[in-house]
Amino acid sequence: MNTRIAVIGAGTAGSGAARRAAELGAKVILIERDAPASGSSGRSAAIYNVQTVDPLHIELRMRARELFFRLERDHGLPLNRIGNVRVGWSDADMERLETVNRTQRELGLGPGDAIILSRQDLQNLVPDLNTSDLAGGLFGPRDGTVNGEVMCQALVNEAIELGAEYKKANVLGHQLRSDGTHLIHTSDGDVVADIVINAAGAWAGIVGELLGHPVPVLPQVHDIVKVSLATPLRYTVPMVNLYMPGSDDEALYFRQFDETTLLAGFHTYRVLEGHPIADPENYRGEVEPSYLAAVEEAINRRFLVPGMTVQAGWTGLYPCTADEEFIIGPEPADNSIITCTGLGGVGVTSGAMAGYTAAEWAVQGRPTTISGATRWLPGRESLKGTIK
């Protein structure tokens, strides 16, 4: 009999997990209480890119991007290749980005796919950017935006074509049966599974409690601001990301949204100190006025276009972790429970492949697409003591 796998949550992680597990021959049921991407995956800034610094994350994002390109080709997934630039602030940052660029090439990225920019190149790319205190950047012209809802739905559709079942139901409880199988109680009846994948994003802590395996995910509210331009620009503003992984502070990002609007906010991998860990069932839905004011100040300093005005966009949850890393793999005390969460502020660009990794743990007993993903196993020392 094929392994019965229940995937909980149809965000990027769960949709990817269901698709990959079905492809690997499992009997899959994907349980989502609302619609695909109704959690964080539908509330993001929608950026996908391969311009990050850690080799394992570069590899994961490259595979995810290949998947997006295939979904675009096969199913018309709309991608908007506005480009993505990770900005370097100093000579040391630029040395780091040069190293990243060498790694990208070693991993198979073409020379036109990730380009080192001098400060002048950066100025030419984004003519209104204040580059006076910047050193340059790393630019991906084929990076851009993907609609979270459409992407998750495309993965769900492929999972269904491969034999998976989609069940709209709320997971309410769980029993481990004497034969080691799982009985999952939902708002629409019980589901029996050999393996459960907890891909409930910021809600993975709650679902983990139900499954008897608490998950140290730390949900934090992040806000998005809309910046109105007085008149359209002569060029498309790529994603400009001023955050350098490892830095202590949040940093500004912004990108074109429509002809006369930019999206902007602050990004970090860190669990923000002084920021509450949110209750995902009842988190702040309004953009804070102080955040709006801070973005207004930052964007006016960084993007020298007169007459910009800011308005609240929306809020959503980053499913963060104490060590700023994903959690993907079997729970140490029961390898028939696979956790897949902790995607923080990068789960749109990474989530589908995080899900693939979880599915491979479930069906094949190890990650095969991204073999280095064993680094993200649950129960690691750096997560201990961080259950909220």
- List contacts with ligand FAD (CB under 6 A): 8-14, 31-34, 38-41, 43-47, 170-171, 199-203, 207, 222, 224, 316-319, 341, 343-349, 351
Q: Distance (Å, rounded) from C-alpha 354 to C-alpha 367?
A: 10
Closer Cβ to ligand FAD, 34 or 190, answer by number: 34
d(CA 264, CA 384): 34
SS3 (DSSP) at 275? coil
Nearer to ligand FAD, 32 or 113 (CB): 32
Beta carbons within 8 Å of 241's beta carbon, 6+ residues apart: 47, 49, 51, 84, 85, 86, 87, 251, 253, 267
For ligand FAD, which is the closer residue by CB, 329 or 351?
Answer: 351
Minimum CB separation of residue 211 from ligand FAD in Å reads 10
Q: Hey, what amino acid is at 198?
A: N
Instruction: Give the closest residue to 350 by CA, choosing from 35, 43, 19, 50.
Output: 50
Determine the Cα–Cα distance for residues 16 and 10; give it in Å rounded to an integer: 8
Shortest gap between Cβ of 94 and ligand FAD (angstroms)? 24
Amino acid at 208: G
Burial tier of 65 (Cβ tally within 10 Å: 0-12, 13-18, 19+): buried
Quote the least distance from Cβ 294 to ligand FAD, whole Å. 15
In the bound state with ligand FAD, the residue whose beta carbon lies nearer, of 330 and 351, is 351
CB 41 within 8 A of CB 178: no
Q: How many CB atoms lie within 10 A of CB 92?
A: 11
Nearer to ligand FAD, 137 or 319 (CB): 319
CB of 220 to ligand FAD, least distance (A): 9
Q: Considering the complex, what minimum distance in angstroms separates the CB of residue 241 from ligand FAD?
A: 9
Select 137 or 351, whichever has its Cβ closest to ligand FAD: 351
Residues making up the chain, counted from first to last? 388
Q: Which residue, 15 or 119, has its beta carbon nearer to ligand FAD?
A: 15
Ordered strands of the 182-186 beta sheet: 171-176, 182-186, 189-193
Least Cβ distance, residue 16 to ligand FAD (angstroms) = 8
Q: How far is the CB of 255 from ligand FAD (least distance, A)?
A: 8
For the chain, the first-to-last Cα distance in angstroms comes to: 38
C-beta of 30: minimal distance to ligand FAD in Å?
9
User: Measured from the CB of residue 174, what is the shortest distance to ligand FAD in angstroms?
Assistant: 10
- Rounded CA separation 134/73 (Å): 37
Q: How far is CA 281 from CA 31, 203, 208, 220, 222, in A?
A: 18, 8, 15, 12, 15
Minimum separation from the CB atom of position 45 to ligand FAD (A): 3
CA distance 136 to 374: 34
Three-state secondary structure of 321-336: CCCCCCEEEEECCEEE
Q: Are 341 and 215 in contact (CB under 8 A)?
A: yes
Is the Cβ of residue 179 or residue 281 nearer to ligand FAD in the bound state? 281
Closer to ligand FAD by CB, 30 or 135: give it. 30
- Of the pair 88, 319, the CB lying nearest ligand FAD is at 319
Tell me the residue type at 300.
Answer: N
CA atoms of 232 and 267, how far apart (whole Å): 26
